[in-house]
Amino acid sequence: MLLIDGAKYQEWTLDSEDKLTEDDLEQMVIEHSDDIFGEDSIYLDKKYKLKTITGVGSIPDGFAIIFSNQPEWHIVEVELSSHDIYEHVVKQVTKFMDGIENLDSKDNLFEAIWNGINSSYLLKHKLEKASGSSNPHWFLSNIIKKNLPIITLIIEKEQPGLKGTLSKFTYLPHKIVEFRTFRREGVGLAVHAHLFKPLYKPVVTAQPQPSSVPADSVEIALAPSCMKSYYIHIPIAKKHLFPDYKTTLIVETDTGPIEIGFNIDPDWGVWLSKGLGNWFKRHPELKAGDKVAFSVIEPMKKYRLEIVK
């Protein structure tokens, strides 16, 4: 039992009345992939992102890429403790590694991961931010093709002998994440808690200083794709500065007023695009990492766009 502020939480296990299934665990891993691998990471699950892989023997449950000073990529297997780990993990990953020994299979794997990332605005933005260059394809290729993967097993309860079983991968590093789930009594999964050790080291930052940016303004660092596709992304934390529906905004700029169309993603923020093409073309000096600022002149109607010097 887990007790939080007087509320009782019971662990969701294989022996619960409504048994925990592998599909349940896989969905929770997808939902909390940023918490497991870090916000500066990408997680692709096999069911939705990796259907195009061919010639690799078998397909793991997912792949994770962690961007850090020493980027790494993980072959992820999600399993229940009731399963035979040798049959479900060792043989599965062995088949996969045997399958990508040839160059063609490695290329297929990389292209499938690359296409999966490019199918999502969020993942594409993460990769561009991590690469810090205009060539994220080369950056990702270096991670996948020049580094050995880490075998990562995510399981609801670690069993005795599990580490010994994974040690059969003598040529590959491996990690185990025990991912436990607790549900509040009388409520079910609607109120729950997870207990696990993340695979990234939290960044310890200095005491934050008061921001010099006014509350009705936002500064944005331009991603490489901004110059190619002529858009500016406003993060979700500043979404409240904009209307909640598709419309046209009047924006004052150094080249005169322009009308800008935009879309809102409830999970990612505001995408300003239509109407920005000419403004970008008149500022060929802009490059990835440069900052622009949006400020409110008339709430929900009129704004100012400036280049931060």
Q: Domain containing 275 — which CATH number?
A: 2.40.330.10
Q: Tell me the average pLDDT across 216-234.
A: 86
Residue 204 located in a structural domain:
no
Are 188 and 263 members of one domain? no
Let me know how long the chain is: 309
Among 163, 195, 227, which residue terminates a domain? Answer: 195
Q: How many CB atoms lie within 10 A of CB 291?
A: 13
Q: Does the pLDDT value for residue 48 go beyond 50?
A: no
Residue 109 located in a structural domain:
yes
Among 195, 229, 262, which residue terminates a domain? Answer: 195
Domain of 33, in residue numbers: 2-195
Are 146 and 283 members of one domain? no
Residue 211 located in a structural domain:
no
Q: Partners of 192 in the beta sheet?
A: 183
Q: Pick 257 or 50 by higher pLDDT.
A: 257
Q: Classify 8 as helix, strand or coil.
A: strand
Are 171 and 248 members of one domain? no
Are 162 and 260 members of one domain? no
Give the residue ranges of DSSP H helices in the chain.
22-31, 33-37, 46-49, 85, 91-99, 103-118, 121-131, 136-146, 162-166, 224-229, 277-281
Average pLDDT, the chain: 84
Q: Does the pLDDT value for residue 81 go beyond 70?
A: yes
DSSP 226: H
Are 182 and 69 members of one domain? yes
Q: Classify 239 as helix, strand or coil.
A: helix
Are 27 and 62 members of one domain? yes
Are 108 and 31 members of one domain? yes
Give the range among 73-87, 188-202, 208-222, 257-271 with minimum mean pLDDT. Answer: 208-222
Are 106 and 238 members of one domain? no
Count CA within 13 A, CB hemisphere, residue 249: 31
Instruction: Using pLDDT thresholds of 50, 70 and 90, give the confidence band for residue 202.
Output: low
Q: How far is CA 127 from CA 114, 148, 209, 309, in A?
A: 10, 19, 28, 26
Summarised one tens digit per residue, pLDDT across range 147-194 is: 888 989 999 998 888 888 888 777 778 899 999 999 998 887 778 899
Among 195, 230, 245, which residue terminates a domain? Answer: 195
pTM greater than 0.75 (yes/no): no
Are 254 and 295 members of one domain? yes
Rounded CA-CA distance 101/305 in Å is 51
Residue 55 located in a structural domain:
yes
Q: Which two tokens stand for residue 33?
A: 């992939």
Residue 201 located in a structural domain:
no
Question: If you search the block for the tokens 């046209």, which residue do you land on?
Answer: 248
Residue 210 located in a structural domain:
no
Question: If you search the block for the tokens 């933005």, which residue do you land on?
Answer: 125
The candidate with the shortest Cα–Cα distance to 242, out of 281, 287, 296, is 296
Helical (H) or strand (E) element with 180: strand 180-184
Are 179 and 250 members of one domain? no
Q: How far is CA 291 from CA 57, 121, 182, 219, 284, in A?
A: 46, 20, 43, 6, 14
Residue 47 located in a structural domain:
yes
Are 96 and 178 members of one domain? yes
Give the range among 60-64, 114-118, 271-275 with minimum mean pLDDT. Answer: 271-275
Q: How many domains does the chain have?
A: 2
Are 61 and 178 members of one domain? yes
Instruction: Using pLDDT thresholds of 50, 70 and 90, give the confidence band for residue 66.
Output: very high
Residue 200 located in a structural domain:
no
